[in-house]
Amino acid sequence: MSDTVEKIAPFLGTWLLDHDESEFDQSAPPQSASCRIEEEFGLIRILMTVVEADGEKMEAEISGVPGGPETRMSESGLIDRLSLYFEGERTLTSEGKRKGVTLMKARRTLSDDGSTLEIDQTVEVPGQGRISNSAVYRRAQ
C-alpha cells in the first residue's frame, strides 16, 4: 500500500455537518452540508454538497495527488492552481492560488478517534477581505 493511500484511508467516506459545533463568518449557516472523500490509484477527490440557508444547493469538487504537482483550475473564477498535501498524519490541506498568491485554504483535521473531521477554511475575497469558517463534520453511519 502506498504512503498516500495509507495516509488518506482514515479520511475516506462521507461526512455530515454538525451545525451545533460549527462557526460560519461568511453567511448564515447552511441547512445541511456533506463532504465525501474518495481515493483511486492515489488520486484524491473531495466532493462538497451544501444546501444554503435560502435552500440553494451548491456542489463543488476538487481533486489532486497529495504532495503532487499543482492542478490547473480552468473553471474557477477565483483560483488558477490547486494543491493538496498532508500536514502531519491527521490533516489534509487544499490550497488554491491565483498568480502564485494563496487565496483559499482548507484544512481538514481528523479527530484522534476518527469520528469527526474539522474543516477550517479561509478565503481571501478580492476587495472584501478574509472570510473564515470552522465546520465540524461527523462520519456518516
What's the angle, vertex CA 94, arms to CA 22 and CA 80, rounded to 5? 120
**What's the order of all strands across the beta sheet hosting 71-72?**
57-64, 43-51, 32-40, 13-24, 129-139, 116-125, 101-110, 91-98, 81-86, 71-72
CB-based contact 135:34 (threshold 8 Å): no
Tell me how far apart the alpha carbons of residues 128 and 70 are, in angstroms, rounded to a whole number: 26
Tell me how far apart the alpha carbons of residues 50 and 31 are, in angstroms, rounded to a whole number: 8
Q: Which amino acid is at 66?
A: P
Fold of 3-139: Lipocalin (2.40.128)
Query: What is residue 28's three-state secondary structure?
Result: coil
Predicted local confidence at residue 26, as pLDDT: 62
List the grid coordinates of 72.
490547473
User: Tens-of-pLDDT digits for all 141 residues of the chain?
Assistant: 467 778 999 999 999 999 888 887 766 788 899 999 999 988 999 999 999 889 999 998 888 999 888 888 776 567 889 999 999 999 999 999 988 889 899 999 999 999 999 999 998 877 778 888 899 999 997
